[in-house]
Chain A
């Protein structure tokens, strides 16, 4: 059976199905992270003291730049397909996956540094919520990397048979990836700067 409206917009929604689907999924993701931000506020206003600048701000600033860069390479991979340039798509998508990997490597160094200093989630309320939020975000980065790697590799075969459908897939994967970037844009000041 053929999946309907993968390329053309559905008349009543005005959107191809996957786009409405990913936005509804992202709405549920807003609530997932929203619950954690809400918990953060509750824990913080209920605490006697809250640490300031105990995390590695310069390293996290670099990581923020890495993730922002991965967002522009992601949107450029989609734009390349719109301009029918598959080689450039490959290049930008490859860069997106590598930048995601770079983000995780930097996060790994941060985590191991905390572990060696005895700053485990049980160390304080701050570290508990820090590991919960950045850990969940890190899992989202891994998920996005798996999907993006698939579209960079075996999944890109679709470009030859159904180029428009493949372009839409990249747009949808991009919407998810930008959302992961967007969450980090809020996590960074909340956990590192304030």
Chain B
């Protein structure tokens, strides 16, 4: 982050506190929903959506990605592509199953 004035930092601090409260609230929500005994697929979707929101909040605000330089985004986009390839590998393995 660029050199910022103390006043700007104070604004940042308010954002950090809001994000913190949101993270705690979303944790309570996801735990509560896990006791509803939803079917497996909707349960996975809901839990992963909430985790992704929480993860984005941490990355955007605590890790300052929201105001970061372009180079970091390019590096991360590349990482996301390879990460998705990794995650889809098991699905390829499924289609390869001998029946």
Measured between beta carbons, the chain A residues less than 8 angstroms from B63 are: 174-175, 178-179
Cβ-closest chain A residue relative to B6? A83
Q: Mark A149-171, 1 if CB is under 8 A from B, else 0.
A: 00000000000000010000001
Q: How far is the CA of A82 from the CA of B3 in the complex (A)?
A: 8
CB pair A181 B58 closer than 8 Å: yes
Contacts of A37 in B (CB 8 A): 86-87
Q: Which of A19, A27, A188, A189 has a CB less than 8 Å from the CB of B76?
A: A27
Q: Which of A78-135 contact B (CB under 8 A)?
A: 79, 82-84
Alpha-carbon gap, A193 to B20, bound state (A): 21
Partner of B62, one of A15, A82, A178: A178
- A192 / chain B contacts, CB cutoff of 8 Å: 34
Identify B27's interface contact among A15, A65, A72, A171, CB under 8 A.
Answer: A65
Q: Are B79 and A31 in contact (CB under 8 A)?
A: yes
Category for how many chain B residues contact A: 35 or more
Contact indicator A38/B17 (Cβ below 8 Å): no
Question: Which of B58, B75, B87 meets A41, CB within 8 Å?
Answer: B87
Find the B residue at minimum CB distance from A15: B69
- How distant is B99 from chain A, measured CB to nearest CB, in Å? 14
Bitwise interface map of A from 22 to 65 toward B, beta carbon under 8 Å scored 1, else 0:
01100100110011011001100100000001000100010011
Indicate the size class of the contact surface on chain A: 35 or more
Taken together as a complex, chains A and B put the C-alpha atoms of A181 and B31 apart, in Å, by 17
What is the CB-to-nearest-CB distance from A39 to chain B, in angstroms, rounded to a whole number? Answer: 8
Q: Give B4 Cβ to nearest chain A Cβ, in Å.
A: 6
Contacts of B75 on A, CB cut-off 8 Å? 20, 23-24, 27
Report Cα–Cα, A45/B76, bound state, in Å.
28
CA distance A14 to B82 in the complex (A): 25
Q: Which of B14-67 contact A (CB under 8 A)?
A: 16-17, 19-20, 23-24, 27-28, 30-31, 34, 40, 43-44, 47-48, 50-51, 54-55, 58-59, 62-63
Does A20 contact B72, Cβ atoms closer than 8 Å?
yes
| A91 and B30 alpha carbons, distance in the complex (Å) | 31
Contacts of B90 in A (CB 8 A): 38, 41-42, 45
Question: What's the minimum C-beta distance from A76 to chain B, rounded to whole angstroms?
Answer: 7
Binding site for A on B (CB under 8 A): 1, 3-4, 6, 9-10, 12-13, 16-17, 19-20, 23-24, 27-28, 30-31, 34, 40, 43-44, 47-48, 50-51, 54-55, 58-59, 62-63, 69-72, 75-76, 78-79, 82-83, 86-87, 89-90, 93-94
